[in-house]
Structure 1
């Protein structure tokens, strides 16, 4: 039996699973599938699943109906198609929030919804650390140590969400515990939209720290360097390995003294250099 469409975050995967399920039980073909959906080309939906073309809004509705989707499931499928076609992060964010609203209205769990909410704001990640580090602390006490300042109501809301999402548990003494010491965004592309928002917030906090904190309380450094595509990929792998080493260091701590943020950024400062026009690259230089 197929999973509900609300358990998917890629409309192509749902179409392909639907086709495979029909094919398993009958002599169903791509041509028949396309005909039922009202497409002139018998291979159109296969090309969609192969990533060689994409559905548009009207085609999404016809395909959903051909797969027997009705009501909120049809609406959800159309939103999946709209999400993939969105050109900006704001459009993607709006689509996913509509998916969440559909799920809440119909009491259906939307895959990735909790992690989307978690990464949408910096408050949840900070409160998640402080709740464990400050056993017995009231929301107003947790709020007072946050930078920037947040309200006790914000902390209470965050704690309720973290408990509901299973990111924190609470024992009989009222103390909080993390269900996992580290979190990953996984491979859900919807979560990436929220992570984008979080990275922007953390980047802004970094600028504030650069201006407002003494050097003894913050560490900033960087490298401006010329790279090739191969060395760029190696640097990305090295950053990933470095992150894992950092997590292993802090995981060994029994108690924490403060919550810190480590930003790692790698981005181009120039367009790709064509050696027919330019024959020079600067040496690596640390700042």
Structure 2
């Protein structure tokens, strides 16, 4: 049986699964599907699923109707298409929050919503660590050790979310434990929008640490270097492996003394030199 539309983040995958389900039990064709949705081209929806073109707002509405989606499921599908077409992270964030609100109002849970909420703010990741490192601590005690400062109410709200989402659990003594030592975003593209917000926050905290903390409490270093596309990919792989090794080191710690953040950044400081050179040659 096909999954409900709220279990999807990719509208193309939903269309493809719908088509495959119909095809399995009848002689349903892409041409017939396109005709039901009111498209002149019989191959249009197949091209959409192949990633060779995309649905626009009106096309999304016609396709949703052709698939028999009604009410909030119809609205959800249209929002999925709108999310995919959004040009900025701000627009994507707005679309996903509308999808969350729509699902909550209809008492259904959408895939990735907990991880989206988790990564949307730095507070959840820090409190998830502190709750385990400070057994028996009250929310106001946890709040006092956070940088920057937050309220006890913020801590309580975060703890409720972490428990509800299964990212923390509490034993009979009231102590917190992490259900998974580390988290992964998997292939949920929507979570990347929240991670963008988190990385921005952590980048701002890094600048504050550079100005306010003594060298003994922070470590900053960097390299400015010329690179090729091939060496760039190799460095990315190396950074990924390095991060895994660091996780394995701290995973062995039994008594946490402080919660730290490690930012790993690699980004260009110039345009692509080959492109610039090629452009100048054409002007001559």
Q: TM-score, normalised by structure 2?
A: 0.97
Count of matched residue pairs? 278
Distance (Å, rounded) in 2 between the aligned partners of 1:134 and 1:276: 55
Kindly report which structure 2 residues correspond to 1:22-33, keeping only aligned pairs within 5 A, or say none.
Answer: 22-33=22-33
Distance (Å, rounded) in 2 between the aligned partners of 1:29 and 1:230: 43
Backbone CA RMSD of aligned residues: 1.0
Tell me how far 1:14 sits from its aligned partner.
0.3
Distance (Å, rounded) in 2 between the aligned partners of 1:31 and 1:143: 60
Partner residue in 1 for 2:187: 187
Q: Secondary structure at the match of 1:223?
A: coil
Tell me how far 1:277 sits from its aligned partner.
3.6
**Structure 1 gaps, min length 5:** 279-287
Distance (Å, rounded) in 1 between the aligned partners of 2:189 and 2:2: 22
Tell me how far 1:274 sits from its aligned partner.
2.0
Kindly report which structure 2 residues correspond to 1:40-189, keeping only aligned pairs within 5 A, or say none.
Answer: 40-189=40-189
Tell me how far 1:276 sits from its aligned partner.
8.4
Q: Secondary structure at the match of 1:124?
A: helix
Divergent runs of 4+, >6 A:
none
Partner residue in 1 for 2:242: 242
Tell me how far 1:275 sits from its aligned partner.
8.2
Tell me how far 1:186 sits from its aligned partner.
1.1
Partner residue in 2 for 1:3: 3
Distance (Å, rounded) in 1 between the aligned partners of 2:174 and 2:51: 50
Distance (Å, rounded) in 2 between the aligned partners of 1:38 and 1:160: 47
Distance (Å, rounded) in 2 between the aligned partners of 1:203 and 1:266: 13
Tell me how far 1:16 sits from its aligned partner.
0.3
Distance (Å, rounded) in 2 between the aligned partners of 1:222 and 1:129: 27
**Structure 2 gaps, min length 5:** 279-284
Tell me how far 1:185 sits from its aligned partner.
1.2
Is 1:271 the counterpart of 2:271 in the alignment? yes
Q: TM-score, normalised by structure 1?
A: 0.96
Q: Deviations over 1:94-140 (max 9, x none)?
A: 00000000110000011000000000000000000000000000000
